[in-house]
Structure 1
Amino acid sequence: MTITSQGEELILDKERALYLPKHQLLAISDLHLGKSAHFRQAGLQVPATIGLSDLQRLSLLIEKYDPKALLINGDMFHHGLNTDIEIFERWRMQYHHIKFLLVKGNHDKLTVADYEAMHIEIHEPSFCLGPFCFIHDAPQNTKEELYPISGHVHPGVSIVGKAKQRLKFPCFYFGKKHAILPAFSLFTGLYNVYPKADERIFAVTPKNVVEV
């Protein structure tokens, strides 16, 4: 779905990504690479394919939009170095022509040297572009004249079907003062958001993005 925010065109993709055509920037939030490996190390039987599946989805988005830069709006890596991150390092080599930008989130705890080795440019606490300021959490910490776009809370919305069944979907939230991106990783929970009169919610369904 294409919308206009702050005078600019934005594309909301059903793969839980945001594309800014004017800036050729693809933005996602809460990738949480390494989360499944971290859980396996703790003895929980979590499939090893989760992180790989997310990277495959990201590859399809890169092929679709051909961005100059990929922005991860916090929580790129869930914990320390592990086998999932080794997979990412090999995957990253395919896209040496794309600038990788990371706005650090609460789970991003690798060393500066680790990020540099993977050719990831760090921004803390925010990355601002045009009328927007990407920040993982706490939109109040951005420049006042810019529109904050955050992540962190993994927003979701409940929709009641014709048979009164309740379905819950990830969503994009666009309020008067800030926006929130859905979590990109499929291995995350959802926090219900409830729109007010001057707010817009876009549910991410398996087929498309719909305003609710």
Structure 2
Amino acid sequence: MSSPAYVYDFEGSPCGSLRTRVRGTAVMLRPSGALWLEAERTLVVADLHLEKGSSYAARGQMLPPYDTRETLGRLEAEVAVLSPMAVILLGDTFHDRRSEERLAGDDAGRLRALAAGRRLIWVIGNHDADGPRALPGETADELELAGLTFRHEPQAGVHSGEVAGHLHPAAKVRASRGAVRRRCFVTDAERAILPAFGAYAGGLNIRDAAFSGLFARPPLAGALGQARVHAVGWRSLGPD
């Protein structure tokens, strides 16, 4: 099977997104870490882990309590630029099952505003298996759209057409002057795993054994830079 073609496209885009295809469906990998299906006017983000800061604080580990505000601000910016007809939250939107209770009133209002005039679809993850209780939107274990299957956790083995999150992929890019580590998309043009969108979510190196066996060929990393997504081949990636 021939290697997929990956093409940068800066025209008509507010920032340096990377256009490619997953199982023949055109997708745009955006520097924010969101995936955009232009033909379907659908925005997809994974692993927001809202209220992770307050979850840690409840266990005595104090973090600045601004992660939800920061994460929702970046999501609102994507919605403002793209005007999607649907937003898919690809699981682990909340960090735990009591996160919604801890959500500040103005942040809950921002989520309600995101749902106004569009579909808001909460795909269930392992951290938020109950789904939202008082917030608008639909819930689903998985979703079929444009020939792709959207679910939170990647299924073991090769699954063509799957778009998932859960693993929080990150790439360590080797260079002559050292290395840099970035959150990333990872895809072999048959399936894709999205980076974590949440401010405190962190990342797992895609050379980790958790990614073994998920791709039919050595995948490409779409490493997130400040203003563009950088396409990085497998041979340029190193372990932590």
Range into which the TM-score falls when normalised by the shorter chain: 0.7 to 0.9
Aligned length, in residue pairs: 205
Query: Paired residue for 1:206?
Result: 226
Query: What letter is aligned with 2:89?
Result: I
Summarize deviations over 1:94-127 as a string: whole Å, max 9, x none: 2311211011000014466x1xx31121001x11
> Aligned letter for 1:132?
L
Aligned residue identity for 2:73: Q
The percentage of aligned residue pairs carrying the same residue is 24
TM-score normalised according to structure 1 size: 0.88
Matches of 1:23 and 1:141 in 2, distance apart? 28
Distance in 2 separating the partners of 1:119 and 1:15: 24
Q: Please state which structure has a larger fraction of its residues in helix.
A: 1
Residue correspondence of structure 1 range 11-30 to structure 2 within 5 A: 11-30=28-47
TM-score, L = length of structure 2: 0.78
Which position in structure 2 is the counterpart of 1:100? 120
Distance 2:157 2:124 in 1: 14
Distance 1:170 1:77 in 2: 19
Cα distance in 2 for partners of 1:162, 1:184 equals 29
Offset of 1:177 from its aligned partner? 4.5
Large movers: runs of 4+ above 6 Å: none
Which residue is 1:137 aligned to? 153
Whole-angstrom CA distance in 2 between matches of 1:85 and 1:25: 27
Residue 8 (structure 1) shift: 2.4
Q: Residue 179 of structure 1: CA displacement?
A: 1.3
Question: Unpaired segments of 5 or more residues in structure 1?
Answer: none
Pair 1:83–1:127, CA change in 2 (3 A): same
5+ unaligned residues in a row in structure 2: which ranges?
1-17, 208-214, 233-240
Alignment RMSD (CA, Å): 2.3
Moved more, 102-111 or 18-27: 102-111
| Alignment partners' CA distance in 2, 1:14 and 1:107 | 25
Separation (CA, whole Å) in 2 of partners of 1:101 and 1:111: 10
Q: Distance in 2 between matches of 1:24 and 1:16?
A: 17
Q: C-alpha separation between the residues in 1 aligned to 2:129 and 2:147?
A: 29
